[in-house]
Each structure stands twice: as C-alpha cells, then as structure tokens.
Structure 1
Amino acid sequence: MERITISLDEELIGQFEEYLKRRSYKNRSEAIRDMIRDTLEADRMAHAASGHCVGTLSYVFNHEERELARRLTHAHHHHHDVSVSTLHVHLDHENCLEAVVVSGPTRQVEEFANAVITQPGVRHGKLNLIPVEVEQEHHHHGGGAHKHSHTHPQT
C-alpha cells in the first residue's frame, strides 16, 4: 500500500471529521479510499454509456396519484429487459417505496430510470449503477453443455 499526504484547511478538515463521525468511519484513510472509489466509479459510469451495468433504482411515490400506478407498471413492462426484480414497500397510507434491480445496456437502464423518475408523483428517485463486463461462457453440466452470459463487475 502506498502512502500519500494531503493538506486541508481547518474548515474543510472540520467538515470531514463530522462526516467521519456521522458515517462511523474508524479512520480517515478508509473514508478517503471510499470517496476516491465513488468518484472513480461515477467517472467510469459517465464514460461507460455504451457498456453494460447492474444496479438499483429506488424511488418513493404516492400510489393515490391519479394513474401513477398504471404509468409505472407501463414503464416496467416497456423496459422488461432491464427491470430484473422489484421490491415494493408500503411506507404509510399513501406512499410506497420501490427498489428495482436493473441489468443491461447502460443507455437502456438509464432510459428506464428516467421513464420512472420523471413521472409526476414520483419523489426521491435515485439510480445507482455498477459497470460490468458481459461474457458468454460455455459450461458442461452432466451430459450436456450450454452457453449463457455472466456479468463481472469491473475492477
């Protein structure tokens, strides 16, 4: 492991120390490593629009909003190839949280997320993506061979 030294002004280091406490980091190094990883991942995703990804789309919506449930269902069906699985949680009498596992070409996943997040009545929409490499692999099981794809997170 290589060591680096950085200089921070007092105000920034104070904010950073508060961040460490809120997130329960044991040391500064791990927090900085996580921040660097997050930044590199965001940069990689910004330049990986033509690649594949896996991730989650989460959002809160008011199920009483006129026609919203129908519009959301339509978006899921229209993008069935990237919407892998959905968890639906009732928060109160009107609001629900949905977490959707997504997988596929990054542009198609982003189109699906935008189709959901931009619906009137959807709030707190957030898409989190991880770039992956998709490989077709041959396997032998028992008496036969078959071919299917595997997704490998990029390192």
Structure 2
Amino acid sequence: MQRITIAIDDDLAAALDAYIDGTGAASRSEAIRDLMRRGLSARPEAPVEAPCFGIVSYTIDQSVRTLATRVPQGRLDRHDQAVASLSVPLDHTTSVDVTVMRGPAGDVSAYAERLFLERGVMHGTLNLIPVAHDTHVHAHEDGAAGTHTHLRVRSGF
C-alpha cells in the first residue's frame, strides 16, 4: 500500500467526515479509498475511437483568475467538436455550464478530464452517447436523391 498526502478545503473535509459518519467507514483513508473506487468505476468506458456525443456539465467559479476566459477558449480551440454550450448563473461568482461535444470518445473524454482538473471547476460529470454514422440514399421534399449520413444513437459502445 502507498501513502499519499492530499490537501482539501474545509467544506470538502466536512463533507468527507459526514460521509464517514453516514457509512461507518473506520477512517478518512478508508472513506477516500471507497470514494475513489466508486468514482473510477463510474467513469464512462468506451473505445477511444468510438464516435459519440458527450454532455459535459460542471460548475465554474468565475472569480478564479483567467478561468472565465480559458474555459470558452478551450471550446473555441475545439470548434469542430463543440456543438453547443450553455452557462447559467447561480450566484455572483458561480455558474453551471453544460457543453455538448462530438467526436471520438477518447477526445471528448480527454477534454472533460482536463476541464475537471482546473482549479475553480467542480461537480464535473461526463455522459457519453454512442452513435453510428449510417449512409442513406434518398430525397428530401422535391429534391433529387442524394447520399448523405445520418447519426443513429446506439444503446452501447
């Protein structure tokens, strides 16, 4: 077993202690190991090249230095993958943001994981929606028949 040291803020420490009281964990170490196992097992698993849409949701502390400009710039840097974004103010400094991304699961997951590690970003969640690209030949309205691609949502990767 390895020994590591972590620093957490007072609110998170209080939440950890409440978790310990509620679950009967013997120590903070035991509780953290349990939470880490759960968190790691809840991460979406998908082949890195699998096409998908990702819904990335998180809260952001807009007062953290340059974070309010870095997050939108990160989306602009991925303009070919960022489909839509919504930011809802919660109070004077915090917003909940939702971004819809598309692309290979590995790229979408990497974007979300980097974002979640930013100081000032909390409550990050990533949901992956597997899709397939189906090619069809048909006409719309009075137009000539043509070949184009439709996305089809799949039940799993």
TM-score range, shorter chain: 0.5 to 0.7
How large is the RMSD of aligned CA atoms in angstroms?
A: 2.0
TM-score in terms of structure 1 length: 0.65
Pairing of 1:11-50 with structure 2 (within 5 A) = 46-50=45-49
Runs of 4+ in 1 over 3 A off after TM superposition: 145-148
The SS at the match of 1:112 is helix
The equivalent residue for 2:29 is none
Matched, 1:131 2:130: yes
Separation (CA, whole Å) in 2 of partners of 1:146 and 1:66: 50
Identify unmatched segments of 5+ residues in structure 2: 1-41
Deviation per residue, 1:99-152 (Å, 9 max, x gap): 112222111111221232222211111101121112233331223344433221
Query: Equivalent residue for 2:152?
Result: 152
User: What one-letter code is carried by the residue in structure 2 that aligns with 1:99?
Assistant: V
Deviation at 1:47, TM superposition (A): 4.0
Deviation at 1:78, TM superposition (A): 1.2
1:116–1:151 Cα change, 3 Å: same
One-letter identity of the residue aligned with 2:152:
H
TM-score (structure 2 length as normaliser): 0.64
Deviation at 1:72, TM superposition (A): 0.4
Q: Deviations over 1:50-99 (max 9, x none)?
A: 21112310010111111001110111011122211111100000100001
Return 5+ residue gaps in structure 1 as ranges: 1-41
Aligned residues: 113
Percent identical among aligned pairs is: 34
What one-letter code is carried by the residue in structure 1 that aligns with 2:150? H
Residue identity in the other structure for 2:68: A
In structure 2, the CA distance between the partners of 1:119 and 1:138, relative to structure 1 (3 Å rule), is: farther
